[in-house]
Amino acid sequence: ILRTWTVTDCAGNTSSDVQTITIYDDTAPVLSLPADIRFECEMGDAGMATAEDNCDGMLEPSYSDDLSGLDNCGFGDILRTWTVTDCAGNTSSDVQTITIYDDTAPVLTLPADIRFECEMGDAGMATAMDNCDGELVPTYSDDVVLEHCGVITRTWTVSDCAGNTTTGVQLITVYDETPPTIMGEDYAICNEELPPSLTVEWTDNCSEGGTVTAAGVPYSSDECTTVYAYTFQVVDDCGNPAEKIIYVTKETTKYGYCETAIAKLDGDYESDARCFREDGFSRWGWTNLITEEGQYTLPLYAGAAQCIVAKGTLVGQVVVDYDGSTVNVEYQIDEGYALSEAHIYVGCEPYPTKNGKPTVAPGQFTFNGGSLEHVNGLTAEFDNVHGGFYIIAHAVTCEVICSCTQSLDPVIADGYEPMDLGIDCQLSADEPDEPTIQIDQKDESVVVKPNPFHEYVDFVFTAEKDGVAKIELFNLTGQKVATIMKQKVVKGQAVQVQYVPHGIVTGTYVYRYMLGGTVITGQLIYQESK
């Protein structure tokens, strides 16, 4: 301020001078900053600076922010420069540091450990939530790539923008606990050679499967069968083993104990059957007279020495159909037996002749079936047969020692050309005679006790040779009513078998014991218990 001082005397003389008065402010305002501050995730209220001036009193500071310290996620330091200037232009400034940070890792939620059979499926998805970034999408990496089975360690990872990372492990198991299935079952073959090896298929719930081959190893054998064992082993892709043994049985058809068999009229026509021995022949058998049209069923007996049917075995029947001109003959062999030869005589005389003399040699019979190779039956036809005829139905039958279990159709020998005999016999039937049964009571090799019997009877014998022993029971008409035993025995073996009657009535019966060529018959009396 320029202050001019002036003074004037009376005379009006004036003096003046200038005084300089200076008003100044050289003191900057006092600036008070808010404290440095830290915010998690995002900026908050960082506070307000204040300022007071010695001249101007309270002033309002302003600020400017330096954001260069922030990263792409918005985290870091903000340098806030506060400035205040008084009226005199005195300025004060200072810097407040504001820190935006994220030190918290995301929260990772894993899917549960999981198991899959055979192949990998949907194992689920992890989720993540971050305090700053919100919902995040985790990623994963697997430690292995499975070809078949095993455990995958799946590591889930999630990172927020600040680089905070969380990891977790999920276990994924691909398993196969089911062993493979080997196909094929035991089976039997009939009269064929056993294969040296077998190839079968195998399947698996997980693996592709395929074929497997095994060599046959002898397992067991007996008179009728030979068994090979084929052991198959496979391992699936996951290491599950499987083993299966298939048994193949070679069954063999075997025949033995072959005997001559002759058919005999019985029942109402029994008197029309005449034993060869009655006419002076040493061989046993029957010539049968048929005079009327009709169908006749002749039991076929094997080994009926001396024409005693009780000494023989009923092995089938021969059915004769006669219509007055044609004779059809059919052999029907019982199960357990087979036909290896068949000869049929049809003529006006009881027997064929050779050199003018009667004979019972089968080679002279009207029909020769040839080699039959163990068939189940045979048919033959004779034409131009009139006025009745005699018939001798001869056979050689064999026991089936071994047979195949598989069902086989009966083998019938047929296809023979009809034989035109051109005969007119003009025969008639004689009155029937009473049937007789011849019994050998002298042989004591078989002990039968008690006899007579009521509830049971025991047969006791010692085998005189190896073979199949049979005891059969017949009524007095020659019909078999029971097979008491049929079993293999060895020489010197003591055998006792008990028979309990079933379906028979009080009366006299004939038992027949057979072993090889030995035939023993005897009388047995049964008395029902009262």
- The CATH number covering residue 471 comes to 2.60.40.2550
**Closest Cα to residue 340, out of 300, 387, 316, 376?**
376
Any domain includes 313? yes
Whether the predicted model's global pTM rises above the 0.95 cut:
no
222 & 290 share domain = no
What does the pLDDT read at residue 501? 86
| Dist CA 49 CA 23 (whole Å) | 29
The answer to whether residue 433 sits within a structural domain is no
The residues that bridge with 76 in the sheet, in sequence order, are 70, 100
C-alpha closest to that of 520 among 462, 479, 466: 462
Separation of alpha carbons 457 and 504, rounded Å: 14
Q: Does a structural domain hold residue 435?
A: no
Residues 420, 323 within the same domain:
yes
In whole angstroms, what is the distance from residue 365 CA to residue 346 CA? 8
Q: How many domains does the chain have?
A: 5
Helices (H) and strands (E) in the chain, counts: 0, 43
Q: How far apart are CA 304 and CA 394, in angstroms?
A: 12
Contact between 132 and 104 under an 8 Å Cβ cutoff? The reply is yes
Beta strand residue intervals within 25-145, DSSP E = 30-32, 37-40, 50-53, 57-59, 62-66, 76-85, 91-101, 107-109, 114-117, 127-130, 134-136, 139-142
* Cis geometry, peptide bond prior to residue 450 (ω within 30 degrees of 0): yes
Asked if residues 326 and 319 have their Cβ atoms less than 8 Å apart, the reply is: no
Tell me phi and psi for residue 479, to 5 degrees.
Answer: -85, 135
Same domain for 312 and 402, yes or no, is yes
CA-based nearest residue to 391, from 320, 302, 316: 320
Contact 172, 83 (CB under 8 A): no
Is 295 in the same domain as 416? yes
Predicted pLDDT at 51 = 96
Query: Does residue 302 fall inside a structural domain?
Result: yes
- The angle formed by the CA atoms of residues 331, 337 and 340, to the nearest 5 degrees, is 65
Q: Is the dihedral of CA 298, 335, 305, 276 positive or negative?
A: positive
Domain presence at residue 51: yes
Domain range for 130: 107-175
| pLDDT at residue 433, as a whole number | 36
> Rounded CA gap, 178 and 204, in Å?
8
Residue whose pair of structure tokens reads 């985790």 in the numeric block: 138
pLDDT tens, N- to C-terminus, the chain (530 residues): 999 999 999 999 999 999 999 999 999 999 999 999 999 999 999 999 999 999 999 999 999 999 999 999 999 999 999 999 999 999 999 999 999 999 999 999 999 999 999 999 999 999 999 999 999 999 999 998 888 899 999 999 999 999 999 999 999 999 999 999 999 999 999 999 999 999 999 999 999 999 999 999 999 999 999 999 999 999 999 999 999 999 999 999 999 999 999 999 988 787 788 999 888 899 999 999 999 999 999 999 999 999 999 999 999 999 999 999 999 999 999 999 999 999 999 999 999 999 989 999 999 999 999 989 899 999 999 999 999 999 999 999 999 999 888 767 889 999 899 999 999 998 864 433 333 344 454 556 899 999 999 889 999 999 998 887 889 999 988 888 888 887 778 899 999 988 888 778 899 999 999 997 788 999 999 998 76
**In terms of domains, do 325 and 341 share one?**
yes
User: Which pLDDT belongs to residue 407?
Assistant: 64
Torsions phi, psi for 296 (to 5 deg): -125, 135
Question: Within this chain, do residues 259 and 337 fall inside the same structural domain, yes or no?
Answer: yes
Please state the length of the chain. 530
What is the C-alpha to C-alpha distance for residues 381 and 100, in angstroms, rounded to an integer? 121
Residue 272, pLDDT score: 86
Query: Which of 131, 146, 175 finishes a domain?
Result: 175
Q: How far apart are CA 260 and CA 315, in angstroms?
A: 11
What pLDDT, on the 0 to 100 scale, is given for residue 103? 94
Please check whether residue 9 lies inside any domain of the structure.
no
- DSSP 8-state class, residue 323: -
